Structure 1
Amino acid sequence: MYLSKLGLTDVRNHQATQLTLGPGPVVVSGANAQGKTNLVEAIHYLGVGSSHRTSNDRALIRQSAERALIRAEAVTDAQARLVVTVELNPGKNRAAVNDVVVPSMGEAIGLIRMVMLAPEDIALVRGEPNDRRRFLDQLLGSRRASYKGVLADADKALRQRNALLKDARGQAIDEDVLAAYTETWLHHAALVTAARIAGVNALAAPLIEAYGDLVSASPSQDVHRLPTLDYVMATGERITAHSDAALPSARDIQDQLQAALMQKADDERRRGVTLVGPQRDDLFIRLGELPAKDFASHGELWSLALGLKLATVGIIAETGDQPILILDDVFAELDQYRAERLAQRCVDFDQVIMTVATGTPVPVDAPTIMIEGGQVLL
């Protein structure tokens, strides 16, 4: 898949931007604060339904404007034309697919498949568990849209159970109601956990390949210090990805969660919150035998984050169109060796959109779009 046209109306500092694009790599260049990241942020919104920089949709609407419009035309792997339009409003957002308004945003979001690496994504390695859970959920949702419903059901069931525990904290609780909420939550939580573990397992080999390729040109890098992924459950169980052990089924996970709930029942009632489950799980990344979060260098952190995103592209492509790869200000964070390796990999993708600050060397032969003050310079 690749974007052939992109239109932004009142999106941040883009009052009226129209781009015509082709397959392959493209560089978006300009000075800082001119609108490069705003442009790819809009594509990210079409892909996952949110900004990678803020949870407030209102922030995407240009000051003094009442709404913002993002319109993208893409060419699928089957050479079909796909048009997705999203209108951001302070009230309710609206969307259309091939110029037909759809009942819900969920029917439009994700049709434009994309994977983005931005400076914020270094948190995938050294950030909080919630950053890695969000990464896994976006990966799984991009791979199969049905996962979004599974996750939403689990979140709803968790909120209901937590509300009951909180309201009854320090008091008698209706055991029948708690049992009913717990049964519903266990079912959905097990499905989420099983999907995440399978996703981590699928990531393992592509991550090792991508990371090894990125660092193999660097004379200072020990290429034998390759990454390993573990999924660490709040129950204490650690599952190493791509190992010989069979992946646990949703039924096995549900039984394990239920046993853990029984052990923590008193603590949950005292604290008024659910203490086990996918909302407390983590993705653990090792380099060799050491936790990358604590021992990786800055270059290794970036290579791991980039390796995760490159691996994600292939995994998503297994279930449909190959996603567009967006690299937001990435080359400024890489040394010459890694930058050249990444440039060589860019030719493998249908489309790669790279933002760079003016003067940043990019070892890629690609057309360049100049951005200044939210406008395209011809």
Structure 2
Amino acid sequence: MYIENLALQNYRNYARAEITFSDGINILYGDNAQGKTNILEAIYLIGTTKSHRGSKDREIIRFDADESHIRAEIKKDGMHRRIDMHLKKGKSKGIAIDMVPIRRSSELLGTMNMVFFSPEDLSIIKNSPAERRNFMDMELCQLDKIYVSLLANYKKVLDQRNNLLRQISFDKSKMDMLPVWDDQLVKYGIEIIKKRNHFIDLINEIIPDIHSNLTSGKEHLCLVYEKNAEEESFASMLAEKQEMDLRYQTTQTGPHRDDIAFLIDGMDVRKFGSQGQQRTVALSLKLAEIELVKRLIQDNPILLLDDVMSELDRSRQDALLESIRGIQTILTCTGYDDFIKERLTIDKVYKVVAGTIQEELDG
């Protein structure tokens, strides 16, 4: 699987742009704040419906325009596919696959499988639980359309339950409605817990060997899925914490409070690991993500690397470069001369300047 072509119209700092990619290594280079990351964001957005930055559609549309368009042409399983995405301020995304509009954004997921790696990902181990939950959710949404529906329904029910908790604070008669939302929350929550648990099991089949290689066999890494509630006890925990929920007017129990622990020989790296250990674990996690996607879809994902090489030392760079062999990689950097050519076979080079893209044929 690889992306052949990307066209942008009124996207961030691009009035119009079109870029053709090789199925190998593609370099986008230029000074900071020129638009390199915007290209990666557009690819990720048209594959997942979400910005990796968490940006809203209105923030993505060029400042002097009311709407934006993205078109991607990909090759998958020997077939050419086209995806169009139309963004308009104040309206839902319009998406078409092979010129046929789809009714739900979730129908797009799985058409393109991508792994995005940025310098911010190197801090996922020490940052908030929300970022680690987002890592699970974004990968599962690409791999499992049922999970997409479960997560959307769970979030909807959670919002409704929290809203009801606030209403009860000044209208006690609405207490009778709480069990209805409790049942729905448990129904969807249990399925989410099951799928997250399976996902962590799959990662744990891959990540120990990767991390051992990165540390020359000195460290053994495993992930622990820290469930806020077990499947069988979710309903009872929700009931037990009802008084607390009413006091704080928010739901204290459920997978929206899950986390992942990273243990090196039993030590919790989130709390006690050095910065070097945390960054190595983060790299191990990304490399495991690439391998997991390859196994599950029986194809290579598209790899998006946003100026991450400059954040890694030589040995970690080598590990990442080894993992991208045979995978379409679109990589941003401030200068491709930073890369030693015998370590990286570059197929296409583009210079990005102030929302313009120029191919360098001798790159």
TM over 0.5: yes
What SS class does the counterpart of residue 125 from structure 2 fall into? helix
- 8 Å contact kept, 2:72–2:83: yes
1:234 corresponds to = 228
- State the alpha-carbon separation in 2 of the partners of residues 82 and 57 from structure 1: 24
Matching residue's letter, 2:27? V
Are positions 1:301 and 2:282 aligned together? no
Indicate how the Cα distance of structure 1 residues 60 and 170 shifts in structure 2: closer, same or farther if over 3 A, else same: closer
Match for residue 377 of structure 1 among 353, 358, 361: 358
Unaligned runs of 5+ in 1: 217-222, 236-252
Cα distance in 2 between the residues matched to 1:173 and 1:303: 54
Structure 1: distance between partners of 2:137 and 2:186: 18
- 3-state DSSP of counterpart to 2:181: helix
Alignment RMSD (CA, Å): 2.0
- Provide the rounded CA distance (Å) in 2 between the counterparts of 1:302 and 1:278: 26
User: Which residue in the other structure is 2:242 paired with?
Assistant: 265
1 CA distance for matches of 2:192 and 2:54? 25
CA contact (8 A) 1:25 1:347 kept: no
Structure 2 match to 1:292: 269
C-alpha separation between the residues in 2 aligned to 1:305 and 1:173? 49
Aligned counterpart, 2:218 = 224
Match of 1:87 in 2: 86
Asked whether the 8 Å contact 2:123–2:278 carries over to 1, the reply is no
Could you tell me which residue of structure 2 aligns to residue 247 of structure 1?
none
Asked whether the 8 Å contact 1:25–1:354 carries over to 2, the reply is yes
Query: C-alpha separation between the residues in 1 aligned to 2:31 and 2:14?
Result: 15
Is 2:339 the partner of 1:361? yes
Whether contact under 8 Å (1:132, 1:283) holds in the other structure is yes
Q: Provide the residue aligned with 1:331 in structure 2.
A: 309
2:225 aligns to what SS in structure 1? strand
Provide the rounded CA distance (Å) in 1 between the counterparts of 2:173 and 2:232.
Answer: 23
Matches within 5 A, 1:150-165: 150-165=150-165
- Structure 1, 309-318 or 26-35: larger mean CA deviation: 309-318
Match of 2:83, SS? strand
Task: Check 1:177–1:313 CA distance in 2 against 1; reply closer, same or farther (3 A cut).
Answer: same
User: So what's the TM-score if we normalise by structure 2?
Assistant: 0.91
**Is 1:181 equivalent to 2:159 in the alignment?**
no
Q: Do residues 140 (structure 1) and 140 (structure 2) align?
A: yes
SS of 1:23's partner is coil
Which runs of 5 or more residues in structure 2 are unaligned? Answer: none
1:255 corresponds, among 228, 232, 251, to 232
Aligned positions of 1:108-147 closer than 5 A: 108-147=108-147
- Separation in structure 2 between the aligned mates of residue 64 and residue 210 of structure 1, nearest angstrom: 47
- 8 A Cα contact 2:109 2:142, kept in partner: no
Q: Shift of the alpha carbon at 1:20?
A: 1.4
The one-character-per-residue Cα deviations of 1:261-316 (angstroms, maximum 9, x if unpaired) are: 23323222322222111011111112222222233333333332222222222323
Measured in 2, the distance between the counterparts of 1:91 and 1:121 equals 30
Change (3 A) 1:75 1:208: same
Alpha-carbon distance, 1:226 to partner: 2.7
Contact 1:169–1:271 at 8 Å: present in 2 too? no
Letter aligned with residue 365 of structure 1 = T
Between stretches 127-136 and 355-364, larger displacement belongs to 355-364
TM-score by length of 1: 0.87
Is the 1:49–1:110 contact (alpha carbons within 8 Å) kept by the matching residues of 2?
A: no
Corresponding residue of 1:41 = 41
Q: In structure 2, how many angstroms separate the alpha carbons of the residues matched to 1:211 and 1:153?
A: 36
The separation in 1 between residues aligned to 2:319 and 2:232, in whole angstroms, is 45
Aligned to 1:62: 62
Identify the residue that residue 293 of structure 2 maps to in structure 1. 316
The alignment covers a number of residue pairs equal to: 353
Task: State whether structure 2 residue 255 is matched by structure 1 residue 275.
Answer: no
